[in-house]
């Protein structure tokens, strides 16, 4: 991670803020996260009241597309941010069962158990005689974090557990995808839960990185 010298003023439920947060995550950039609700005067002074706003020393950038371009040029060597903003994906060097076993083990290492398992390909074949490549959805849960989150937001169970997909992609390779908790929580609009979402995000990405080829 780079040295934390940046500040981002944001709103958790704002899609433009979310796109910038994803860019920060993609490029591995440490940033002080400042919710608009707690910094109204600063946001008003910097941008007239709109977010996201990125501050880097004396530099102030107020448009999400300009912020992402700046982050890409400075930290990402001009790389683009993946278009899928609701998950993270990596190929796995092995078959479906090996991939499922591997990600299950790595999730356990970071505190997640598998609550549910849905074999989508098998179910579609059985129910409507549709053939498709192997596709399994695992429902992962960290009991401590989930319990705290539901205590703060009782309806959060509608978005849980955190889904993990093991599949064969169009190239015939085994692929693992994990949900982006930051994007998932954005529909709730709770700034006070962002740190929790970032914690889950980091744990899920750590597990994925451990099995990526």
Give residue 80's pLDDT: 62
Strand 87-92 versus strand 174-179 pairing type: antiparallel
- The CA distance from 112 to 136, in Å, is 17
Task: Give the model confidence (pLDDT) of 88-127 as tens digits.
Answer: 889 999 999 999 999 999 999 999 999 999 999 999 999 9
Q: Are residues 91 and 70 in the same domain?
A: no
Q: Would you say residue 152 lies in a domain?
A: yes
- The CA distance from 1 to 4, in Å, is 8
Residue 89: what are its φ and ψ, rounded to 5°? -130, 145
Strand 113-119 versus strand 174-179 pairing type: unpaired
Give the CATH number for residue 192: 3.30.310.70
Give residue 70's pLDDT: 94
* Mean pLDDT, the chain, whole residue set: 90
Give residue 18's pLDDT: 80
Kindly state the average pLDDT of the residues 10-28. 83
Give the CATH number for residue 62: 3.40.30.10
* Structural domain boundaries, residue 201: 87-211
Choose between 12 and 137: higher pLDDT: 137
Give residue 2's pLDDT: 41
């Amino acid at each position: 991670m780079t040295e934390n010298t940046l500040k981002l003023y944001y709103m958790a439920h704002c899609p433009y803020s979310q796109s910038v947060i994803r860019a920060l995550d993609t490029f591995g950039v440490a940033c002080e996260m400042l919710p608009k609700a707690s910094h109204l005067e600063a946001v008003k002074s910097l941008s007239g009241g709109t977010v996201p706003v990125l501050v880097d020393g004396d530099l102030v950038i107020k448009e999400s597309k300009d912020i992402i371009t700046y982050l890409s040029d400075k930290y990402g060597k001009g790389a683009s941010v993946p278009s899928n903003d609701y998950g993270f994906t990596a190929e796995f060097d092995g078959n479906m069962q090996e991939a499922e076993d591997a990600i299950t083990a790595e999730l356990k290492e970071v505190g997640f158990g598998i609550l549910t398992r849905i074999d989508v390909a098998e179910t579609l074949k059985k129910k409507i005689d549709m053939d498709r490549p192997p596709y399994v959805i695992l429902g992962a849960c960290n009991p401590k974090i989930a319990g705290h989150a539901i205590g703060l937001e009782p309806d959060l169970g509608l978005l849980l557990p955190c889904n993990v997909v093991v599949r064969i992609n169009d190239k015939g390779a085994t692929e693992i995808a994990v949900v982006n908790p930051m994007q998932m929580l954005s529909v709730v609009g709770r700034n006070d839960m962002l740190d929790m979402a970032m914690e889950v995000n980091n744990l899920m990405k750590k597990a994925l990185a451990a099995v990526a080829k």
